A and B are shown apart, each in its own frame.
Chain A
Amino acid sequence: MSLPLEELLKLEAEDILAHNERPKSDDLRNKQQIYYDDVEEGMELPKYIYNPTPTHLFRWSAAIENFHRIHYDLDFGLNHDKNPSILVHGSWKQSVVPQYLKDWILPRGWPWKAQFEHRAMLVPGDILIMWGRVTSKYEKGQMGFVELEIGMMTQDGIESMPGTATVVLPLRGGPDIPYPFVPPAD
């Protein structure tokens, strides 16, 4: 059962991990559409929980060819930049955001916009909770626009990436969201 963020943060770290709602391949293959009509203010999105290791960080550095030593060279991080450890990449967090929004709006919605800040240094061993909550919604051009508050919180309740997002959902019985996405005229 999906726990509200507030309840999740009351758990011990290892118990938080047990509430990970990151989907598997088949979950995404068989994802049922959430319609605009079904969304209510205050609704929480599934929580994606990560427990990054140095190997995860190295894999990300290699995948995107990011050579910044603070992400893989512990000696450099500790002694040159005086960081507490090697650091989780802002670029990785940034890339989780559209994934998270995509997964929620599949199969026919659109993850249109997001904006967020980077706060706090995240290090291997941290438990990171990607979360989202509906703040408002409106219809326009036969499409359903949903405004979200999003973030990536540590197990200690420190918000490392406060932000907002706008996704587009089909109306029940309404037309498909155009692809490529074209926002309605103001």
Chain B
Amino acid sequence: MTQETQSALTPEVRAMIGVSGDVVEAWGEVDGEYLRRFTQAVMDPDPRYWDKDFAESTHYGEIITPPIMVSYLASRIRPDQDDPVTRAFEENPESDGIGSIERPGELPPVPTNLMRILNAGNELEVYKYPSIGDKVFFQNRYSDIRERVGRDGRAFLIITRETTYTNQKDELLCITRASTIRR
């Protein structure tokens, strides 16, 4: 980094590394109808997802579900909350449909004036296939924030948010890490 480059990794930003959100219990449970829609949409016809007799004869001993399906299931909008889609468009008729929608368990924002967000990549670690009927718990954490300098000489941030998913037996299901670039 040149001396002229202003660091984006300020003490306030650095202090966010390791900050965790609450452990959140996702609404509902892992259910067969969500599983059907998910596996059809990802185009995975595995009978381990729907043929109970066959699934019980496999290594896993039961119907399984795709490992990271819980990451989407866990962000379902609860039926007892205000409709965030309608609110987003009331606040901004040009809403992109996602930006203003609050999801449970979100982390406090990283205090930076770098506003442009780009997807930098994902990591997945899988330990157990969620079972039908599982309650899902998740916790977000800023696992890493790094600084890089672009070709234009300006500093930018790579912010990694780690989410750990467990079930009602406190069994570890999977860990996901999503990295975003803030320019």
Contact = CB atoms under 8 A, between A and B. Distances in A.
Interface of A: 22-25, 28-29, 50, 56, 59-60, 62-70, 73, 76, 80-81, 90-92, 94-99, 102-103, 107-108, 110-118, 163, 176, 179-182
Contacts of A114: 123-124
13 contacts: A22-B43, A59-B41, A65-B76, A67-B85, A67-B97, A68-B96, A69-B96, A69-B97, A73-B97, A110-B126, A115-B124, A176-B59, A181-B126
- Chain B interface residue count: which class? 35 or more
B67 interface: yes
Contacts of B177: 115
A181 B122 contact: no
B126 to A, nearest CB: 6
Given A29-B54, A70-B96, A98-B66, A108 B59 contact: yes
Nearest to A33: B59
Nearest to A170: B59
B125 A95 contact: no
B46 interface: yes
Interface string B46-87: 111001001000111000001111001001110000000100
B126 A64 contact: no
